[in-house]
Amino acid sequence: MTAIPGPTESASLQTARWLARPIRFLEDNRRRYGDAFTVMFKGFKTPLVIVSHPSVLRALYGERGHRMPPGRQVTLKPLVGARSLLLLEGSEHLSRRKVMLPPFRGDRMRAYEPIMRDASARALDAWPVGRAFAVHPSMQSITLDVILQAVFGVSDETRRARLHQLLGDLLAATTSMSLQVQVLFGRMAPLEALQVQAGEIDALLLEEIAARRSSPGEDICSLLVQARFEDGTAMSDGEIRDQLMTLLMAGHETTATGLAWTLDLLVRHPDVLERARGGDETYLKAVVSESLRLRPVVPLAGRRLTVPLEVDGLSLPVGTDVTPAMWLTHTRPEEYPEPYAFRPERFLESPPSTYTWIPFGGGVRRCIGAPFAELEMRVVLGEVLERFDLRPAGRGAEGIARRNVTFSPRHGTRIVATPR
């Protein structure tokens, strides 16, 4: 085993530094220890090895057998359920991934664009024009509306409004800083207090699933109801519920946060904003890619090694917990000249290789909804830029706050919007 260096202060202090200044914590450790270093967080029994070199990521993502650290089960299971794609491993994970991928490909995905545009229009109609406001909550409302219609298939407006309220409250609770601190410092069983809140949501979702069995539509819930595994069997109602909650947890907060970060970057780079407004979808796609590079929403995605990891002089044994650090990978000057500059053109000039741009992870654990999220970001941004002139509400760029597993704009991206 290679001796991996890392900070020597207590687990409590490392955890406090991670919570307070996560990017500085990562940068300081990279500067001191290089592309691979260990950290020790409160509640962890063993050190976590953080890696960022593309060759190491290729080796890590290329092995399908690596498993998730046990803590992820404890944290996510109360919300997404035991049959969630996020929690399954091995053949069970692969079989579900195979039947869940088709809705996120090609023309099928493009069919959801009108839903995205309509959800955007409803939210933008409520913007307080001419005065400062935080845009992140508006983006959350849009992405939740899109999930309720395109993914869950809820067409009844009353039922959709009720689920919007219930799910919004549940998601807000899971991302609260007080809950994160309690979980990290072991002061409560993670998320157990939210299970009662989730009960009414489950009942409404099961009713929607039953309705799709009798009258399927074009939404993703209907497609999951009709999906069959290789042996001809179908998912149970309970498992479909778990996968719907998985798509919610994976696609709501992350996409909304990605949009908020992109708007923060755009209003501080007027030349990029003006070009993005030109209607060139290729350039808008580059804007989204560059934003996700410079402001990755999910910072870490750990795995526990089931076979040794041997690459480029790094030797880690079975049982080691390893995670890529997206920010560190995305700011390597070898791959990205001027790594801290916001330059969407770099994605037009020289698209990155697979393991140098990893906002959605990689390998068989890569987020299945990545194309959906990128499309939604382009559609929403296009609607915003068509309707409004934008400027920042303050001088400084947004700082980073941790919200559950995401890096979010500390003040919600405060902007001023005026009609065009």
Ranges in the chain, pLDDT < 70: 1, 70-75, 175-197, 404
Judge whether 396 and 362 are in contact, CB under 8 Å: no
pLDDT at position 175 is: 62
| Torsion sign, CA atoms 343, 346, 351, 355 | negative
Q: Does 68 reside within a domain?
A: yes
Phi, psi of 42 (to 5 degrees): -60, 130
> Which pair of structure tokens corresponds to residue 195?
């299970």
Contact 137, 144 (CB under 8 A): no
| H-type alpha helices, 21-89 | 22-33, 54-62, 70-80
| 269: CB partners within 8 A, 6+ apart | 342
- Domain assignment present for residue 134? The answer is yes
Integer Cα distance of 400 and 24 in angstroms: 10
Tokens standing for 305?
Answer: 């090694």
CATH of the domain at 96: 1.10.630.10
pLDDT score for 188: 46
Task: Spell 276-309 as b/e; 16+ CB within 10 A means b.
Answer: bbeeeeebbbbbbbbbbbbbbbbbbbbbbbeeeb
Q: Cite the beta strand spans of 291-380 per DSSP E.
A: 303-304, 309-311, 314-316, 321-324
3-state helix, strand, coil in the chain (%, to 5): 55, 10, 35
- How far apart are the C-alpha atoms of 136 and 410, rounded to whole Å? 10
Find residue 392's DSSP bridge partners: 415
User: Does residue 3 sit within a domain?
Assistant: no
What does the pLDDT look like over 193-251, one tens digit per residue? 566 667 888 999 999 999 999 999 889 999 999 999 999 999 999 999 999 999 988 88
pTM comes to 0.92
Q: For residues 56 and 358, what is the distance between their CA atoms, to the nearest angstrom?
A: 13
CA dist list (Å): 291 to 230, 255, 326: 39, 12, 13
**What is the C-alpha to C-alpha distance for residues 363 and 64, in angstroms, rounded to an integer?**
8
What DSSP letter does each residue of 124-161 carry, written as one string?
Answer: HHT--TTSEEESHHHHHHHHHHHIIIIIS----HHHHH
Identify whether 2 is part of a domain. Answer: no
Token output for 303: 């795995």
Closest to 202 (Cα-Cα) out of 249, 176, 163, 236: 163
The token duo for 25 is: 């914590």
Domain-embedded: residue 6: no
| Per-residue model confidence (pLDDT) at position 37 | 97
- On whether residue 352 sits in a domain, the answer given is yes
In a domain? residue 5: no
Q: Does residue 67 fall inside a structural domain?
A: yes
Coil, strand or helix: which one is 111? coil
Number of domains, the chain: 1
Q: Which of 227, 229, 224, 218 is nearest to 244 (CA)?
A: 224
Return the sign of the alpha-carbon dihedral for residues 80, 111, 282, 269.
Answer: negative
Q: 282: domain range?
A: 11-419
Convert 386-413 to b/e letters by CB count within 10 Å (16 or more is b). Answer: ebbebebbeeeebebbbbbbbbbbeebb
